[in-house]
A and B are shown apart, each in its own frame.
Chain A
Amino acid sequence: MAEKKDLARRAQGQLKVTMKVNGKEYTREVEPRTLLVNFLREELNLTGTHVGCDTGHCGACTVMMNGRTVKSCMVLAVQASNAEILTVEGLARRDGSLHPIQKAFTQNHGLQCGFCTPGVLISALFLLQRNPRPTEEEIRRGIEGNLCRCTGYVNIVKSVRAAAEAMSGGNAMTEKEMR
C-alpha cells in the first residue's frame, strides 16, 4: 500500500524536460533532482560526458550549454530545459571526420586514459572560440577547470596550441562548422 502511494507521488513529481543536444531535440520525464550529467548519460545514453567527482571540480562532465561551458554535474536537467547542449559526441562532423581539436589531440598525444578528455575538448573549444590565438598561459588558464591525472598537461597544452593553429590557419573553419 505504502509502496503504491509512493510510486504515485513520484509519478506526479516527474517533470517534463525538453532540450536540444548536439542539434537533436529530446523530451523526457525526469525526477526534479536529476542532474544534467545523469540526464545525458542515463536518459539519452550519451556516455561520453563523464562523472569524475560530485563537487564541480574535476571538469570531466563539462559540456556547452547555450554557448558557454558548464559542469553538468552542477546543473539540474530542469535548469537546462529548452537549452542547446553540445557534448563530445557532437564535436565531429556529421560525416564522421574529426573536429580540428580532436585531430590535434590525437596527433599530439593529448590524452592517455581518455576519461577527462571529453571535458577538456569542450573547454578547449570554448577557449578557442573566444580567443583563437591563446598564449601558453591563456591555454593553461582556459583548461584549469579540467583535472587530468595522466598527461601532466604538457601534451594537452601542445594539442590546444596545434588546434588553434589549425583552426585559424589557411583552412579556417566557418563558425557553423565550429558550432
Chain B
Amino acid sequence: MSVTLQQQRKEEPRGRLEDLRLLTGKGRYVDDLNLVGQAYMGIVRTPFAHAKIKGIDLSKAQASPDFVAALTGDDLVKMGVGMIPQNDWPPPQRPTTTYHLAVGKVRFAGEPVAAVLSRTKNAVEDLVELVDVDYEPLPAVTSIEESKKGKALIFEDWGDNVVQRDETKWGDAEKAIASAPYVVKAREGIARQHAAPMEPHSTLVQYKEKDDVYEVCATVQSVHGLRRQLASTLQLPPAKFHVKVMDVGGGFGSKGAHAYPEPPLACIFSRMTGLPVKWTATRTEEFLEAAAGRDEYCDITLACNGDGRIVALKADLECDVGVTGTQSFMSSLSVWTMLHYEIPNVEVHLAVYATNKMPVGPVRGAGAPEGCYFIERAMNKMADKMKIDPLDLRKRNLAPRKPEEANDIKLIDSLVSRSRYEELLRWKRDVNSRFKLQGPTHSSLVAGLGVSFGGRRSFGGDEDEGEEGGSGAGPWSSDGDSAQGQGKESEEGKDWSKDQDESDEGGSSSWKDESEEDELEWESEYARVSLGQNGRVTVYTGSSPHGQGIETTFAQLASEELDVQLDMVKVVWGDSVLVPKGIGTFASRSAVTGGSSVVDACRKLKGQLIARVSELAGTKAETFAITDGRLVDTSRPSGTYPTVSEALKRLGVSEISAESTYKGSSLTYSSGVHVCALTLDAELGTAKIVKYVLVEDCGRMINRQIVEGQLEGGVVHAVGGSLFEKLAYDEHGNLLTSTFVDYGIPTAMDSPDVEVFHEVTPSSALNGAKGVGESGTIVGYAAVMNALNDALSFIRPGAHVDIAPATPDSILAALHHSNKP
C-alpha cells in the first residue's frame, strides 16, 4: 500500500463539490434539459405477460394532431436494427432473441410493443392510448415452479425455460454432511425487488445531420456502456454517438449495464424526423421495465464439526431472471459470495430460469446480498443449534493464518471491545423480560438481535489464482475444482455457447463491439489528468457518478497527489467525447478503479514534469518534488524554484497531461460485521429496527463522510428489502406493485440510526481504498433477518421466516402456524 494512514488522518473537507448546485436547484438531470422544437416519445406497453401480437393499428393515433411518427417491432426488423444486446458473462448462458420493440409475441407485462412521437408533452399518454394492439393471450409462466414444468415456453427454440445451469464442487459434501455432528437445513430466499432510484429513466436525443452524429443525453451509470449498446443496436461505429450526462438521480444498478429500448428508439425517431426527441419514464414505467433484482432461492445444508468449524456446504440455488436479457449473472455472484468462509467440502448447484416477468439486472450488490444472506442466515441457525454465540461461530470459521481473515477477526473483536454488542444483548433481555403473552398490562413488543458478516474482499484478477478452493475462488474461476474448469459437459454446466454459435444468425448482436478499440479491462478505469499554466488541474474520468460524490473524491485525490488546493481541481465525467473511454460506476468499483487511475495519472504527470524540468535544469530528476505548487529540488533546499506554471512556461507548453488505465490486481471490497436490533410487535406482525451498528474495514477512506454515507444508505436499502419490498405478480403475470403506494421503500420513519465504526487495513488498490458502495446492502439482509428470527423464536421456538421480505403476513403466519425449524 502506497498511502499511509497518516495521510488519511489529514483534515478532510466538509461538504462536497457537487452540493452547491444540487442544493440550490441548479443540478442538471436529464429531464431538466430541453431542446427547441423537441418532440416527446411515448411507449405502448403490453398489458399481457405472454401473448401473440396479431396486429397493431396506428390509424387512430396517426389521426391525432399531436402525432409525429410511430415505430413497431416489424419496422425495426425492416430497418435492420439489432436485437437487444446480451452479456456473454459468465458463460454458459442461453442466447435470447428479443427486439427493442416486441416482434411476434410479448414476453412480459410492460414490454414495449410500439413507440409514438408526440408534438406536445401533455399528449404523449393520449397518443399511447390511441394505439390499438390485437393480442392473443398465451399461458404466462410466473414462477420458477411453472418455468420448470414448462407451463409455456418463453423462447420456443430452447425447448425448455432453463437459462443456465452451473455447478461448483470440491471435496465430498455429501459424505462430510453424513458424518457431521451438527447439520442445519433451510430454504431461504429474497423476493424480486426494485432498485428504485428516485429519478426515473430519461433520454434526450438530437441527431445532427450535418455531422452525422447522435447527441444523446441519458440517465446512465456509464456513458461508454450506452455508446456500446447504441453502436451495436444501430450497427454504427461508436464514434457516431456522443453520449453525455451530468447529474443522475441514483441508479443502484438499474441505470447500469442493462440495455433499455428507449435510447435507441429515440435515436431512430430523431433521425427519422430531424427533431430532438425526449422521453422520461413515469414511475409506473420504472416499475414495469427498470431492471429489478434478487428473486433467488436456496436450499442450503450446512454441517459443522464439534469445534464449530464448518465442514461442508451443500446448496441448490434457483433464480428467476424473467425474460432473461442483458444481464443475468447475479446468481453466479451469489455462489461466490456464499463461499466467504473456508469450507473443505462444497457442492453448489445453480439453476437459472426464465419466466414471463421483466428481465432482471444487477441491483445494489448484484447477487452478493443473496449469497451473503444464504450463508449468514444458515450460520445463525447453526449457532442456535450448537448453542454458541453467533459471533463466536463466525470467528471460529475465520482462519487467522490468512492475513485477510485475521483482519476480519479484528472486526468482530472491535465490535465486542466497543461493548456495543454487550449493550444490545442487555437491551434485548430488558425488553423481552417485559414481554408477557398474557395479562392485562402485557407488552406486545419482543426484541431480537441479529449479526451478519460479509467478507467478499476481492474479485477477478490475480488474487483468485493459486488459492485453494475456498474463499475467493469463484464458480467461473480457472481453478480446476469447478465443473466448468474441467470442461465437463453434462446437464450441469452445459455449454450453451455451442448452441449459440450454431444459431447465431439473423442479427443477434453481441454486447461487445469487437471493432471498438477502446475496450478496457474490468479491473481498470480510464483517467486523464492535465495541469495548465494557470495551475489548474482537470481530471477526466471514465467513472460515472450518480450520488457517490466522485467529483469530490477524485478532486481530493488529485489535489493530494499534485499538492494543489482542492478548488484548483475540476473533474470531468459523463461525456464520451471529452472522456474517450471508460467503464462506469457500479459494482462498488469507482474509488478503487477510477480513483487509482486518477492517482496513477497524477504520478505519471508529476514524473513527466519533473523529468523535463530537471533535464532543462541539468539536475537529477530523483531529487525533485512538487510541494505547494512549486517544484523543489530537495538536494538544494535553499534555492529558489519555479512554480508549476512558471515551469510550464519555461518548457514552452500550455499544459501537461497524463493518461492512465491503471489495472489493479483485482477489485477489492470492504468487509464488515453488522448487528441489527429490532422490536417485533407480536400482535401486528410488524418489525421496527431500533439500532444498527456496524464495524467495517473500508481500507483508506478518501472522504469519510462519503464512505459512511454509502454504508448507511446501503444498510437502509437492505432494511427495505428485508421487511417490505417485494415486486408482486398475479397468476397472469400482471405486476401488482407498480407505484410507491404498493411498493414501499423505507421512509425516514422506517429507517434506523446507523452507527458506523472502522477498522482500517491495507488494500490492494493503488490509493488504499476498498469498494464500499454495496457492502451495507450485502451484509444488511442477514443482519435484519437474523434479528427478526431471533425475536420470532423468543415468542415461539421454531417459528421462522426465511424468505425476505418478512412482511407482517409472513411473520404472523410463522407465529401462528406450526412450521418446523
Instruction: Please encode chain B, from 679 to 716, with 1 for each CB lying within 8 Å of some chain A CB and 0 for all others.
Output: 00000000000000000000000000110110011111
Q: Mark B522-547, 1 if CB is under 8 A from A, else 0.
A: 00000000000000000000000011
Contact B198 A147 (CB under 8 A): yes
- Taking the closest CB of chain B, its distance from the CB of A94, in whole angstroms, is 12
Q: Which of B316-324, B650-658, B742-750 contacts A (4 or more CB under 8 A)?
A: B742-750
Closest chain-B Cβ to A178's Cβ sits at a distance in Å of 16
| A52 close to B32 (CB less than 8 A) | no
Question: A48–B24 contact, CB under 8 A?
Answer: yes
Cα–Cα distance between A129 and B30 once the two chains are bound (Å): 33
B580 at the interface (CB under 8 A from A): no
Interface of A (DSSP majority class): loop
Bitwise, B341-371 to A at CB < 8 A (1) or not (0) is 0000000000000000000000000000000
B32 touches A115 (CB 8 A): no
Residue contact B749 to A114, C-beta cutoff 8 Å: no
Q: Is there a chain A Cβ closer than 8 Å to B18's Cβ?
A: yes
> Would you call B250 an interface residue if the criterion is a C-beta within 8 Å of the partner chain's C-beta atoms?
yes
Instruction: Select from chain B the residue with minimum beta-carbon distance to A90.
Output: B25
Complex interface: chain B residues within 8 A of A89 (CB) = 24-26
User: How many Å lie between the Cα of A88 and that of B198 in the bound state?
Assistant: 17
Return A159 CB to nearest CB of chain B, in Å.
Answer: 10
Residue of B252, B548, B705 touching A149 (CB-CB under 8 A)? B252
B28, B739, B745: which contacts A147 (Cβ < 8 A)? B745
Question: How far apart sit A42 and B197, CA to CA, in the bound complex (Å)?
Answer: 23
A140 touching B16, Cβ below 8 Å: no
Mark B8-46 against chain A: 1 for CB-CB distance below 8 A, else 0. Answer: 000000111011101111111101101000000000000
A14 shortest CB reach to chain B, Å: 12
Q: Within the assembled complex, what's the spacing in Å between the Cα atoms of A116 and B753?
A: 20
Size of interface on A: residues with Cβ below 8 Å to B = 63
B79 CB within 8 Å of chain A = no
Measured in the bound complex, the distance between the Cα atoms of B20 and A48 in whole Å is 12
Tell me whether A121 and B714 are in contact (CB under 8 A). Answer: no
State whether A54 and B284 are in contact (beta carbons under 8 Å apart), knowing that A7-B65, A42-B121, A147-B745 are contacts in the complex: yes
Question: Contact: A102 with B24, CB < 8 Å?
Answer: yes
Number of chain B residues close to chain A: CB under 8 A: 62
Q: Is B247 interfacial (CB-CB < 8 Å)?
A: yes
A106 and B15 contact, CB distance less than 8 A: yes
The smallest beta-carbon distance between A102 and chain B, in angstroms, is 4
Which of A7, A42, A54, A92 makes the CB contact (< 8 A) with B24? A92
State which of A2, A114, A152, A157 has its C-beta within 8 Å of the C-beta of B249.
A114
Which of B759-776 touch A at CB < 8 Å? 776
Interface residues of B, dominant DSSP:
loop
In the complex, residue of chain B having the shortest beta-carbon distance to the beta carbon of A88: B25
Q: In residues 527-575 of chain B, which contact A (Cβ within 8 Å)?
A: 546-549
A58 within 8 A of B: yes
Asked if B248 is at the interface (CB within 8 A of a chain A CB), the reply is yes
* B158 sits at the interface (CB 8 A): no
Contact indicator B283/A106 (Cβ below 8 Å): no
Assuming A54-B284, A57-B740, A112-B549, is B24 touching A152 (CB within 8 A)? Answer: no
Q: Check B29 against A50 for contact (C-beta < 8 Å).
A: yes
26 residue pairs of the A-B complex, CB under 8 angstroms, read: A47-B25, A47-B31, A50-B31, A50-B198, A52-B198, A54-B739, A55-B283, A58-B283, A87-B25, A88-B23, A89-B25, A89-B26, A91-B23, A107-B15, A109-B15, A113-B197, A113-B248, A114-B27, A114-B247, A115-B199, A115-B249, A115-B250, A147-B747, A151-B716, A152-B754, A155-B712
Residues of B within 8 A of A (CB): 14-16, 18-20, 22-29, 31-32, 34, 63, 65, 121-122, 196-200, 247-250, 252, 280, 282-284, 546-549, 705-706, 708-709, 712-717, 719, 739-741, 745-749, 751, 753-754, 776
Beyond known contacts A111-B19, A114-B247, A149-B745: 10 more, CB 8 A cutoff: A50-B199, A109-B15, A116-B249, A117-B22, A118-B25, A143-B748, A150-B250, A152-B714, A153-B751, A155-B705
Nearest 8 interchain pairs by C-beta: A48-B25, A115-B249, A114-B22, A152-B716, A113-B547, A47-B32, A57-B740, A112-B547
